[in-house]
Chain A
């Protein structure tokens, strides 16, 4: 069994973690007992934990978006993947990821492995020092970001990837790739502190990183069987359920208010309300422009593009949401809504990206990051304390901020692409990335998980009642060893 060693590895890792002594809790309880706990700690922590829950809810959004865009034989596997990835991200981000991402250091942070022994949290995680929310609250929030970025990676891989690839890459991604790259962009690393790159909630740090991983795996994984005809022209492989896709989009929208507005990490300055409004304005504009763009190109009001347009607009407003005035939000979101459909049409000609992750998260993420260079307002640049205090090009007349943003995009893309491509290359050479053609034809649900997402659609009703070993039924081997195999009865 090819998966047994994976299972063993996971178990060993879990056991190793039990050996490590319990992490020191923050000293809020002691302060409260002494009557010196600031109320602001509780208020800010409530907002950060609530925002973290909203961002964790986005996992459901990604799951249903991907399920809706998959065929009915590849839906259960998405649930298994999301649960597994979220869990790996939690453990990796707790053990090393958070320390790499938010500890102090230009290249890599080193404070707070296993969230312990970090001393004064305001100093150890200085980049989040604007808020006095507890470290645990901030950890939960930042872990949820890591899990979102990881979820984005798999958008390009639906319906043909081996399940073990998720597990291996998730460990590398949540432990090293994401923490280091995001440290540079919004964890106090050199791009943010020395260069002055602005990325409020992660157009680059979360979405572009995820999309870059998605590109790295797609280039080695190849298209789904039947996606491109013998003449090389792309064919539609319609997803099986647009309502579920729509549910995913709505959940993502809801989650995004935690994603952007929660990135204030506090409630006391009231900034989160402004960020939330900016987020909605961009999303609305993105839906409208993507519908118009798709209608212009394809003569139909495309449901999928309306959703992709909203996601793209949300991705684009993610970086500027804490840096721009409200009037720029419809511009930023609206332009994202135009470029996302065009990018999806262009990419589809050569690369099989079933959900449009490269466009909605990658291209829109680049646009959103650059938008800071255009529209960042001086008062907000100064308040956040990063980048050109004169603001973006529109206010300062200087290309400085735009240059910082472009440099950050190039650096992050190159770093994440090289590490991800190398990781997937190693997986491809050893474990393999892709299921066999027969397995792809049968569907990942039955092949990888031994069960169907929609059994009634695949198992005829008389067999569903479980009369499997009927008298006189042919001698067809069953049992654990042959389960989910597609080998034949000997002739």
Chain B
């Protein structure tokens, strides 16, 4: 199991989510974060005084998948998040030791998948 953590532009999220959903990866988490990299800051001017804001808003996308699926997910992110300009963001992949589904107590890779049809799932 691996965790894919990507820092992307806001507008890249929607196409990535749509494609991941289509590929069968509905589970992910995002946070709105601020960070700095090579992308330049924004200067705010307020009544004659200036204030440079170095931290730019980004979306942090986190997604834990089976190791064999990592490349698929990363490729999807790269495909949609890349504009070719500075500020497109970064993707990190890191190992995950264990995963539990809280509702059922199951553990392991199967907890990463959505039940294809929740109604067909065995009653807990």
Residues of A within 8 A of B (CB): 225-226, 441-442, 446, 450-452, 455, 458-460, 463-464, 466, 468-469, 473-474, 476-479, 482-489, 491
| A236→B41 CA distance, assembly (Å) | 30
B21 at the interface (CB under 8 A from A): no
Within B51-78, the residues touching A (CB, 8 Å) are 51-55, 57
B115 at the interface (CB under 8 A from A): no
| A477→B38 CA distance, assembly (Å) | 12
Closest beta carbon of chain A to B56's beta carbon, Å: 9
B29 at the interface (CB under 8 A from A): no
B87 at the interface (CB under 8 A from A): yes
Chain B residue nearest in CB terms to A466: B51
Closest beta carbon of chain B to A422's beta carbon, Å: 34
B44 x A455 contact (CB < 8 A): yes
B39 x A474 contact (CB < 8 A): no
Chain B residue nearest in CB terms to A235: B14
B50 x A460 contact (CB < 8 A): no
B34 at the interface (CB under 8 A from A): yes
| A476→B41 CA distance, assembly (Å) | 7
Q: Which residues does chain B contribute within 8 Å of A479, judged by CB atoms?
A: 43, 50
B43 x A482 contact (CB < 8 A): yes
A473 x B54 contact (CB < 8 A): yes
Instruction: Using A459-B44, A460-B34, A484-B42 as known contacts, list a sample of 4 further A-B pairs with CB atoms less than 8 Å apart, ordered by residue number in A.
Output: A442-B42, A455-B44, A463-B51, A491-B86
Closest beta carbon of chain B to A79's beta carbon, Å: 14
Partner of B11, one of A441, A460, A466: A441
Closest beta carbon of chain B to A396's beta carbon, Å: 58
Within B12-45, the residues touching A (CB, 8 Å) are 34, 36, 38-45
Q: Which 5 A-B pairs have the closest CB atoms?
A: A488-B86, A450-B45, A483-B43, A468-B52, A459-B53
Closest beta carbon of chain A to B83's beta carbon, Å: 10
Residues of B within 8 A of A (CB): 10-11, 34, 36, 38-46, 50-55, 57, 85-87
Q: Which residues does chain B contribute within 8 Å of A468, judged by CB atoms?
A: 50-52, 54
Q: Which residues does chain B contribute within 8 Å of A482, judged by CB atoms?
A: 40, 43
User: Can you spell out 30 A-B residue pairs with CB atoms less than 8 angstroms apart?
Assistant: A225-B11, A446-B42, A446-B44, A450-B43, A450-B45, A451-B45, A451-B46, A452-B44, A459-B53, A459-B55, A460-B53, A464-B51, A468-B54, A473-B54, A474-B36, A476-B52, A477-B40, A478-B41, A478-B43, A478-B52, A479-B50, A483-B50, A484-B45, A486-B40, A486-B42, A488-B38, A488-B39, A488-B85, A489-B39, A489-B40
Closest beta carbon of chain B to A279's beta carbon, Å: 40
Q: Which of A226, A476, A477, A485 has the most CB of B within 10 A?
A: A476
Partner of A488, one of B11, B54, B87: B87
Closest beta carbon of chain A to B84's beta carbon, Å: 11
Chain B residue nearest in CB terms to A463: B53
A463 x B54 contact (CB < 8 A): yes
Q: Which of B39, B46, B51, B55 has the most CB of A within 10 A?
A: B51
Closest beta carbon of chain A to B18's beta carbon, Å: 9
Q: Which residues does chain B contribute within 8 Å of A485, judged by CB atoms?
A: 40
B55 x A463 contact (CB < 8 A): yes
| A225→B55 CA distance, assembly (Å) | 24
B44 x A487 contact (CB < 8 A): no
Q: Which residues does chain B contribute within 8 Å of A442, judged by CB atoms?
A: 42
If A463-B51, A473-B54 touch, does A489 touch B38 (CB 8 Å cutoff)? yes
B40 x A459 contact (CB < 8 A): no
| A452→B50 CA distance, assembly (Å) | 12
Closest beta carbon of chain B to A310's beta carbon, Å: 34
Q: Which residues does chain B contribute within 8 Å of A486, judged by CB atoms?
A: 40, 42
Q: Which residues does chain A contribute within 8 Å of B51, judged by CB atoms?
A: 459, 463-464, 466, 468
Q: Which residues does chain B contribute within 8 Å of A455, judged by CB atoms?
A: 44, 46
Chain A residue nearest in CB terms to B34: A460
A458 x B39 contact (CB < 8 A): no
Partner of A458, one of B50, B52, B53, B87: B53
| A222→B10 CA distance, assembly (Å) | 22
Q: Which residues does chain B contribute within 8 Å of A225, judged by CB atoms?
A: 11
Closest beta carbon of chain B to A485's beta carbon, Å: 8
Q: Which residues does chain A contribute within 8 Å of B57, judged by CB atoms?
A: 458
Q: Which residues does chain B contribute within 8 Å of A464, judged by CB atoms?
A: 51
Q: Which residues does chain A contribute within 8 Å of B42, judged by CB atoms?
A: 442, 446, 484, 486
Closest beta carbon of chain B to A482's beta carbon, Å: 7
Q: Which residues does chain B contribute within 8 Å of A446, judged by CB atoms?
A: 42, 44
| A2→B3 CA distance, assembly (Å) | 47
B44 x A488 contact (CB < 8 A): no
B40 x A487 contact (CB < 8 A): yes
A460 x B45 contact (CB < 8 A): no
Closest beta carbon of chain A to B21's beta carbon, Å: 14
Chain A residue nearest in CB terms to B41: A476
Chain B residue nearest in CB terms to A468: B52
Q: Which residues does chain A contribute within 8 Å of B86, judged by CB atoms?
A: 488-489, 491
